[in-house]
């Protein structure tokens, strides 16, 4: 016999299943919800009635085919039930996006980041101001925003609230859950940016009915180097991780990385590493904090015109990436690799070294090279990852509240 707590847990899981189905498939009829979730018709009726009562769902009528018969009733997530803010911290700017409960983008703006003296205190002050302006522009009360999802390249704590290390602030930690000073009803989460990319690509692959999805890795190229891995877990759920790939030790070549170590993958493959090699700067030179794309384009153009050191710089970057990826495949087995980020514009210059680095691996020589594709729109993928993870947490909160209220009756 189920205990009270386990009964509440089942109610919560079932409500979350319904909300998830409507988030992923859009408006659905009662029978479609039952089919998508595997829940009994009576269970679906009870859940949708309760979610309607609290305002999370609304009914919509779909005209019958051919204009005859009764309209079909669809259940949909109510757009104004809840809102979230997604903030992407990148090397040159911070992008703030406001979305509603259906995941529809409502408002967005970007602000340039200070490259000279990045102060966490000044940054957080500007961050708070940007969140307030985003809400004011859409005339939303602060309590209507129930989630703030932050992303950055770097290392995030297991609880998902603290940025432990980043290319922007180095080892100066930021605890966003306390620094933002939001209300108790607003959930704050910090994510590794490439983890969000892998999450979004995993969702896309999962929807592709033409091929089964098991796992994929995403490699982000740019000022920083990131890696995300999305896998289907034993329960069938999407499991995502972000190994510290860019700062994995790769070679004893004395190249100084932004993290303070020597020989990291990023020290060769990040934009500052390519710049340093192309201009024959000593490898232990302190890395540039930011390399404009225009400068990288100049180096790439020189490489395409046959300039020896510029070609060599991109080849060495590709070699470090290929060697690093070969170790990942040895640990996780073969999987497709999706390359994204600003650095994809130089993929023609990186490919030779990338292939060479992969071919040095015994695993690759035995099992063959991985399938590699390029998806340049990294910012779109980051936003998709923000939306799905934040809305999932909002849904779980709603489902938990519903289960508690039902149990209390």
Residues whose CB falls within 8 Å of the CB of residue 54, separated by 6 or more in sequence, listed in order: 398, 401, 402
Provide the 3-class DSSP secondary structure of residue 307. coil
- Residue 282 burial (CB count, 10 A): 9
pTM exceeds cut of 0.85: yes
Distance in angstroms (rounded) separating the CA atoms of residues 58 and 51: 9
pLDDT reading at 265 higher than 50: yes
- Structure confidence by residue, pLDDT tens digits, 272-292: 999 999 999 999 999 988 899
Distance in angstroms (rounded) separating the CA atoms of residues 179 and 121: 9
Distance in angstroms (rounded) separating the CA atoms of residues 237 and 216: 14
pLDDT reading at 105 higher than 90: yes
pLDDT value at residue 115: 65
Do 165 and 213 contact (CB within 8 A), yes or no? no
Nearest to 126 by CA among 146, 141, 111: 111
- Structure confidence by residue, pLDDT tens digits, 76-88: 999 999 999 999 9
At residue 2 the predicted structure's pLDDT band, cuts being 50, 70 and 90, is very low
Distance in angstroms (rounded) separating the CA atoms of residues 124 and 118: 11
- β-strands 337-340, 215-220: how paired? parallel
Q: Token pair of 22, please?
A: 């409507």
Mean pLDDT of the chain: 92
For residues 246-267, give the mean pLDDT: 95
Walk me through the domains of the chain, giving residue ranges and CATH numbers.
4-77+396-408 (1.10.10.10), 81-185 (3.30.420.40), 207-376 (3.30.420.40)
Q: Token pair of 55, please?
A: 């305002």
The residue written with tokens 């990942």 in the block is 328
Do 277 and 299 contact (CB within 8 A), yes or no? no
Distance in angstroms (rounded) separating the CA atoms of residues 204 and 206: 5
Do 346 and 314 contact (CB within 8 A), yes or no? yes
Nearest to 83 by CA among 406, 402, 390, 332: 390
Least confident among 146-150, 207-211, 392-396: 207-211
- Structure confidence by residue, pLDDT tens digits, 140-181: 998 899 999 999 999 999 999 999 999 888 889 999 999 998
pLDDT value at residue 161: 93
Q: Token pair of 239, please?
A: 């499991």
């Amino acid at each position: 016999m189920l205990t009270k707590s386990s009964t509440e847990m089942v109610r919560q899981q079932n409500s979350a299943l319904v909300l998830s189905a409507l988030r992923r498939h859009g408006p659905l009829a009662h029978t479609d919800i039952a089919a998508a979730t595997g829940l009994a018709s009576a269970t679906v009726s009870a859940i949708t009635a309760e979610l309607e009562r609290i305002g999370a769902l609304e009914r919509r009528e779909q005209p019958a085919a051919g204009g005859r018969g009764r309209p079909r009733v669809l259940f949909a997530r109510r757009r104004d039930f809840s809102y979230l803010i997604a903030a992407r911290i990148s090397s040159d700017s911070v992008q703030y996006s406001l979305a509603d409960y259906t995941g529809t983008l409502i408002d967005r703006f970007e602000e340039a980041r200070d490259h000279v003296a990045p102060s966490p205190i000044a940054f957080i002050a500007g961050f708070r101001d940007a969140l307030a302006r985003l809400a004011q522009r859409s005339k939303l009360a602060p309590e209507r925003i129930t989630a703030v999802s932050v992303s950055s390249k770097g290392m995030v704590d297991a609880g998902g609230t603290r940025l432990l290390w980043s290319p922007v602030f180095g080892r100066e930690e930021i605890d966003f859950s306390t620094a933002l000073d939001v209300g108790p009803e607003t959930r704050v989460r910090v994510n590794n940016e490439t983890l969000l990319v892998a999450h979004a690509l995993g969702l896309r692959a999962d929807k592709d009915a033409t091929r089964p999805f098991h796992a994929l890795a995403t490699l982000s190229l740019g000022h920083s180097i990131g890696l995300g891995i999305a896998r289907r877990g034993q329960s069938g759920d999407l499991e995502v991780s972000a190994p510290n790939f860019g700062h994995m030790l790769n070679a004893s070549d004395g190249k100084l990385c932004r993290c303070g170590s020597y020989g990291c993958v990023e020290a060769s493959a990040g934009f500052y590493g390519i710049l340093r090699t192309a201009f024959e700067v000593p490898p232990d030179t302190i890395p540039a904090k930011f390399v404009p794309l225009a400068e990288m384009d100049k180096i790439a153009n020189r490489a395409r015109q046959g300039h020896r050191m510029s070609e060599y710089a991109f080849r060495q970057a590709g070699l470090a990436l290929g060697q690093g990826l070969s170790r990942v495949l040895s640990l996780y087995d073969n999987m497709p690799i999706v390359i994204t980020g600003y650095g994809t514009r130089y993929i023609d210059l990186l490919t030779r070294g990338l292939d060479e680095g992969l071919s040095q691996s015994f695993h690759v020589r035995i099992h063959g090279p991985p399938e590699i594709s390029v998806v340049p729109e990294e910012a779109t993928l980051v936003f998709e990852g923000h939306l799905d993870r934040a809305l999932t947490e909002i849904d779980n909160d709603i489902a938990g509240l519903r289960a508690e209220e039902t149990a209390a009756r």
